[in-house]
Amino acid sequence: MAEKILIVDDDLETLRLISMMLQKQGYQVVSAKNGVEGLALAASERPDMVVLDIMMPEPDGYQVAKQLRENPQTAPIPIMMFTAKSQLESKVAGYEAGADDYLTKPVHPTELIARIKALFTRSKTRGTGPLLTRRGYVVGVMAAKGGLGVSTLALNLALSYYQKTKAEVIAAEMRPGQGTWAGELGYVQDEGLTNLLSMLAGDITLEDVEKQLTSTTYGIRLLLATPKAADCNRLINSVAQLEVVLFHLFTLGSFFTLDIGTPYTPGLEKMLNMVDELILVTEPQPHSVKRTSQLIGELNTMGFSANKPYSVVINNRVRADMQLSAVQIQEILNLPKTPFIPGVSEQSYQAAMRNIPLGFLQPEGIYMQQINEIAAQYAARLRNEKYSSAGFNPARV
């Protein structure tokens, strides 16, 4: 049976033209000239997709999308917003209201049909439920300064979580011009993040983001950044693009780790606002722990809500007689528990020489034992909890 598409638009000419185009492609079409009629038809006709204008008398397109998502009967229906509102704020508001795709008028009929077909494909391959409202759980990893092992932790945590759950896992380098994973793992193509941030924010689509992900033999996908300083300088102001990329990215999997780096990463406020929780990496040195304590005190001024959970992981790479104890660090940071990850410099060297992740060199080694424990806590909690529930408790690690 042909797929049924509901078009909601107060412009009668638009309704007529789109209906003709879609019918020529073999789709069934029902149409509504305002939001009230659109909501009624969505409930009675149970369309396979809704193509929705924004600028209509109340309820407008945003309100219609929200009501469709709030109704269990219509919540799974894919929604494409098709509107003349091309500003970034309008696009973001559309996704927040529950849209799965956003297309601006005018558009060539070929592109409209292509986007509708692509949205149908995504809705079928990703199962039931609204696409962009089925947002994965996002863990940001950062440190008060560089060189503390943030990238290694973000990558291996993603690998460990995948090994335990076989879920759709994505690890993303969010530092343009400062990427390391491609070089460490032997990948030639490392321009995924650069390509996306080089686009106009309003042009970035879900397909664009998915196309820039690198598949791996380890089961996870990666969004890679180049190690080119020129990219860092050129893309330092691409914050609007970054926000759109993250909106799309977080719908493509169920668990994400972000290599955020340091507090000086461009777009930090946007990232901290969008992550579900944060892991801060430090080392058992007085100055590093002090800077970590200062960073914790500043998080709420950087976009990280005080209601979100965070934890601290200590990457221990120095001699035992030249470091702070766990108790001392816990007192300084005022945390009940601060897991130690032991240094494994020899294994890190061997992994780099073989272009494989540290976790695959020694999956049961002392380093991965701690990473696996953290991943197990996420897997156990997220298996039965909604992503909006209470966050990761570092005391349980």
Domains of the chain, first to last: 4-125 (3.40.50.2300), 137-396 (3.40.50.300)
The stretch 112-122 carries a mean pLDDT of 82
**Cα–Cα distance, 7 to 32 (Å, whole number):** 6
pLDDT at 388: 37
Of 238, 241, 244, nearest to 95 (Cα)? Answer: 244
pLDDT band per the 50, 70, 90 thresholds, residue 233: confident
Question: How much is the pLDDT for 135?
Answer: 66
pLDDT greater than 50 at residue 131: no
- Output the six-digit token pair for 384: 């039965």
Helix (H/G/I), strand (E/B), else coil: 257: strand
Please give the residue that has the higher pLDDT: either 337 or 80: 80
CB crowding 350-372: b at 16 or more within 10 Å, else e = ebeeeebbbbbbebeeebbebbb
**Of the listed ranges 103-112, 175-184, 203-212, the one predicted with least confidence:** 103-112
| Most confident region among 27-31, 201-205, 220-224, 250-254 by mean pLDDT | 220-224
Q: Tell me the C-alpha distance between 397 and 372, whole Å.
A: 10
pLDDT average, residue stretch 29-57: 92
Q: Is the pLDDT of residue 322 over 90?
A: no
**Which tens digit of pLDDT belongs to each residue from 148-174?**
889 999 999 999 999 999 989 999 999
Measured CA to CA, the distance from residue 259 to residue 154 in angstroms comes to: 6
pLDDT, position 364: 76
Q: Which pLDDT band, with edges at 50, 70 and 90, does 5 fall under?
A: very high
* Residue bearing tokens 């996870």: 220
* Average pLDDT value for the chain: 84
Computed on alpha carbons and rounded to an integer, the radius of gyration of the chain in Å comes to: 23
pLDDT score of 202: 74
Confidence category of residue 390, pLDDT binned at 50, 70, 90:
very low
pLDDT above 90 covers a percentage of the chain that reads 39
The contacts of residue 288 (CB under 8 Å, 6+ apart) are 144, 145, 148, 282
Rounded alpha-carbon distances, angstroms, from residue 159 to 6, 40, 256: 41, 45, 10
- What is the per-residue pLDDT for 211? 93
Write down the pLDDT at residue 259: 97
